[in-house]
Amino acid sequence: MSVSALFDLSFYAAAPFWALMILAPTWSFTRRIAGSPLMVLPTLAVDLVLLVPLLGDFWPVVTRPTLAGLQQLVADPRALAALWAQIIAWDLLVGRWMYLDSREHRVHPLLMAPLLVATVLLSPLALPIYLAIRRGYRHRRGSFGVVGTPDAIRGRTMA
């Protein structure tokens, strides 16, 4: 398979999961699928197909990173495609967390849909926006009662 095809496949492997979280956020099937971090495996599989043959090239860049070393590495289309697949997988993990957290805290799906689209496109911008929105919901509703917090341990739940 060509590098270009693998580059495209890295997004196409993630797209169905994004579609579920954005277009069908209240469907129980979506919650079950997004409930597992394994949903990133198809994209990571593409990443590994690209990355494993280049581990010798990647290793010095990740263990002793320099801008010049990274520039030299990404001059190879295979390395750039591998990094792209890694970014796609990371964005999906961030989007998954945002989706699950928003469902738990009842952030309206119509508010979340554009934020999840923004996460696909530019997660470093979308995540802080979501965190600000989440903070607003937290202040409005009080403590979240998240598993592992003192309220959850004592058996208290929030209405």
> What is the per-residue burial (b if ≥16 Cβ within 10 Å, else e) of 8-46?
ebbbebbeebbebbbeebeeeebbebbeeeebbebbbeb
> Is 158 a member of any domain?
no
- 85 assigned to some structural domain: yes
End-to-end C-alpha distance for the chain, whole angstroms: 52
Q: Phi and psi at residue 41, in whole multiples of 5°?
A: -60, -40
**Residue numbers of the domain that contains 112:** 3-153
In a domain, 110, yes or no: yes
Total domains in the chain come to 1
Tens-level pLDDT at each residue, the chain (159 residues): 899 999 999 999 999 999 999 999 999 999 999 999 999 999 999 999 999 999 999 999 999 999 999 999 999 999 999 999 999 999 999 999 999 999 998 899 999 999 999 999 999 999 999 999 988 776 555 544 444 444 444 444 444
With respect to residue 159, please indicate whether it lies within any of the assigned structural domains: no
Flag whether 80 is in a domain: yes
Cα–Cα distance for residue pair 10/83, rounded to 1 Å: 10
Distance CA 69, CA 126 (A): 29
